[in-house]
Structure 1
């Protein structure tokens, strides 16, 4: 019996040793896998930094090593781990990062069987897709205070630092009453972007004007569709704004002889009218070019702040028809229901007459309120339709909303908040149910309540973009 027990004990100790040491090996393997995964993420983020590929590869390698060391404690369960030299390959717009790590675990009971060490290894690969990004920044007058301007400039420039200047393609534009493309995509189709020039442009932004968002979305989409003829596998619009749209450009009919009918005119509305004092609506008639904010801010002979210059809402948003026929949109109550339009039988806007600096009559206030509601609702509908056209082409839309007015001010006649419109263009599930489409790309919406929240929101959007780029 003693002999049998002794023989059996050796076998039982071997089985127990196998169980214990194998368990240690699995724990080390799990920690090794986690450290390598984290190192891949860190390397993927760091590879965007640097002005040359050599600098980018160095930054990715340094980040991978640092993150691995921080997440695999020295001597974990008595083991010794090493991370092999990372492999970073940049080929056109795609970045591939390969990592391999090994660990040696000293055995316990298995040493009785003649085994001293258990070697554990793991590998990982991250592939970052090429990216085309249209970056749109709101510079309207509602953000003209010094602290907000500084936060917008700081957050916008920091956002650009998340992307690779040699592999990603980025176009920068800003908008208010009109849109200016500061730095377009490269016309020769080469990859990369000029971050220094973009930073200088952002630093020199001036703030003022109304919110003509649909033109900004069109410019972002046009850059992706037409300036780039060989699109990347991931296309994104990032749209930053502090309010809902209240303006749009179209071909308006004029109500007076000084403004020629059929000219492209930017139509804006500052706020609802009141019988208590000076009319607060402004209707800016500005025939001619609308692609430059400088041109839009010039007053022409067809400008009378308190007169009814615009006779009727046009049937379509057609300002870009010559260069992009697909951008022609209907201005009707059948468009996405951010708000419905009130139309007389003949489609004309209410004739207000000249108010000048006096107090408008109740009848004039009613007429101006109808016009105010129509312009704001049409602007909202057009913005949503343009964003939906972009998403239908597989373009992701990410939105950053800033300021308390997005949560307090409802759209004229629609009852929806400004935030609702931004959620709609991003196609997020917690937005209004009428505009969510699970079949289209689902973006991200981030709300920044204060200037200090702008940079963290930008970081959230960048993180989400980089995740879908992997």
Structure 2
């Protein structure tokens, strides 16, 4: 009798330990299946396609992490449950495993049943996707890589539940596909693919106009925001131009709203007195002056700079972005009669100040900013103060390794990824997509 009791106790300890090992393996497999399903549910154009993709991914990951016959057990994965509800997708995983016992068979227990469950919740997302199409990226190879990686990036998101707006910028900004009206969910990935494939790359870097439009889409086109709001900003350089309503020296043009442009490098040599270039139409992507209008190809037509960014003042009267300022870069008001160097410095510095202040405003509104920088122009000193463009992109993303004057841990902290070559674009986009999907869970 004592021997029987001893064997039963030994068997219980051994089989319980076996059960714990199976339970740990089963938990890990179920968690992996839930995560994989949460990522795969974004693929597909209908809820049925998305559900099928999620279930297929869950099954594949479960089987990979829990091989049949592990410790002689027989696992069973129930069909994953995928529920769509007002922009939130809930995926429930349930699995069991039967484990044959050893010594406890002596007291009538032939199998040990182990069960687990896991859940993945993917919350709704509003994202403004901004693509740089400036002249510096007009080589055939770069254009091809930018188009392909941008299109691939969009495949990470759910066309029926996520809301995405697409825009591109150079001297001006074009909103290719705005958010759907009336707070409707989803986005048209096929139309966005067509738009991206049709991009031409030409013009100056008016990054601020792009960021303003991204904020506007998130704050005003959508009136019932999602739980996660994001701006994804791709560029290969720092801003060197900006828009506003400018006082004009031309008697027939007292004021005019447009974009005043400069370059990345300080002008030098003869014939540069009128550099930077003049005023260009607000919505025009490339630096093409419009003949027969108040727009001119010489910056001397602008009398002085306005105190604040006022290109869209009527749209957002409560928001002020200073142009003439002592911080973080000094910008003076005088433009008419000053040397070309002063005009260049004012435009260059004002452009950078505006981009950083607009990004800070977006973050104060709870918007995450993710920045992807491409190419060699970002890692060398450019502009009036010899700044590296990547430092400005780090500023707008609010990352800890950016300039200390920019980092604010109380605001949403984004991601900055640098793609040194075109081969690095896809991995960078993938990193940003993974981070967005991680915080949406």
Larger gyration radius, structure 1 or structure 2: 1
Quick one: which of 296, 300, 317 aligns to 2:309? 317
Question: How far 1:117 sits from its partner (Å)?
Answer: 1.4
Task: Count how many residue pairs are aligned between Structure 1 and Structure 2.
Answer: 441
Q: Any idea what SS the aligned residue of 1:252 has?
A: strand
Q: For residue 356 of structure 2, what is the aligned residue in structure 1?
A: 384
Partner of 2:434 in structure 1? 463
TM-score by length of 1: 0.89
**Contact 1:96–1:126 (CA under 8 A) maintained in structure 2:** yes
Q: 1:294 to 1:453 in 2, by over 3 A?
A: closer
| Post-superposition offset of 1:375 | 1.2
Name the CA distance, whole Å, in 2 between partners of 1:103 and 1:297: 72
Q: What residue in structure 1 maps to residue 365 of structure 2?
A: 393
Structure 1 residues 121, 275: CA separation in 2 closer, same or farther (over 3 Å shift)?
closer
CA distance in 2, matches of 1:146, 1:85: 47
Give SS of 2:55's match.
helix
Matches within 5 A, 1:76-95: 76-95=70-89
> Do the aligned partners of 2:278 and 2:300 also contact (CA within 8 Å) in 1?
no
Q: What is the match of residue 233 of structure 1?
A: 227
Q: CA deviation at 1:284?
A: 3.6
C-alpha displacement at 1:297, in angstroms? 5.0
User: What per-residue deviation string (whole Å, max 9, x for no partner) do you get for residues 336-356 of structure 1?
Assistant: x2x322x3xxx313625xxxx
Report what 1:407 is aligned to. 379
Which position in structure 2 is the counterpart of 1:159? Answer: 153
Distance in 1 (CA, whole Å) between partners of 2:148 and 2:42 is 18
Deviation (angstroms), 1:373: 2.0
Q: Does 1:188 align with 2:182?
A: yes
Counterpart Cα distance in 2 of 1:77 and 1:187: 56
Q: Which residue of 2 aligns with 1:444?
A: 415
Give, in whole Å, the separation in 1 of the partners of 2:126 and 2:273. Answer: 41
Query: Is the contact between residue 283 and residue 309 of structure 1 (CA under 8 Å) also seen in structure 2?
Result: no
The corresponding residue for 1:362 is: none
Structure 1: where are the runs of 5+ without partners? 1-6, 353-366
Tell me how far 1:299 sits from its aligned partner: 4.7
- How much has 1:204 moved relative to structure 2? 0.3
Q: Tell whether 2:346 aligns with 1:374.
A: yes
1:308 to 300, 312, 329: 300
Write out per-residue CA displacement over residues 9-45 of structure 1, whole angstroms, 9 at most, x where no aligned residue: 4444333333322222111111111111111111111
SS at match of 1:293: coil
User: Which region of structure 1 is more displaced relative to structure 2, 68-77 or 197-206?
Assistant: 68-77
Answer whether contact 1:182 1:201 (CA < 8 A) is retained: yes
Is the Cα contact below 8 Å between 1:32 and 1:72 reproduced in 2? yes
Partner of 1:312: helix, strand, or coil?
A: coil
Per the TM alignment, residue 269 of structure 1 is displaced from its structure 2 partner at its CA by 0.6
1:257 and 2:247 aligned: no
Distance 1:427 1:280 in 2: 37
Matched, 1:169 2:163: yes
Pairwise CA RMSD of aligned residues?
Answer: 2.1
Q: Which residue of 2 aligns with 1:357?
A: none
Q: Is the 8 A contact 2:101 2:111 kept in 1?
A: yes
**TM-score by structure 2 length?**
0.94
Are the equivalent residues in 2 in contact too, given 1:428–1:442 (CA < 8 A)? Answer: yes
Equivalent residue for 2:279? 286
| Superposition deviation, residue 296 in structure 1 | 6.0
Quick check: 2:172–2:285 contact (8 Å CA) kept in 1? yes
Cα distance in 2 for residues equivalent to 1:149 and 1:122: 49
**C-alpha separation in 2, matches of 1:16 and 1:44:** 42
Measure the CA separation in 2 of the matches of 1:159 and 1:85.
29
Q: Deviating runs (4+, > 6 A) in structure 1? A: none
Distance in 2 of aligned mates of 1:206 and 1:428: 31
- Matched residue, 1:329: 321
Q: Distance in 2 between matches of 1:430 and 1:199?
A: 34
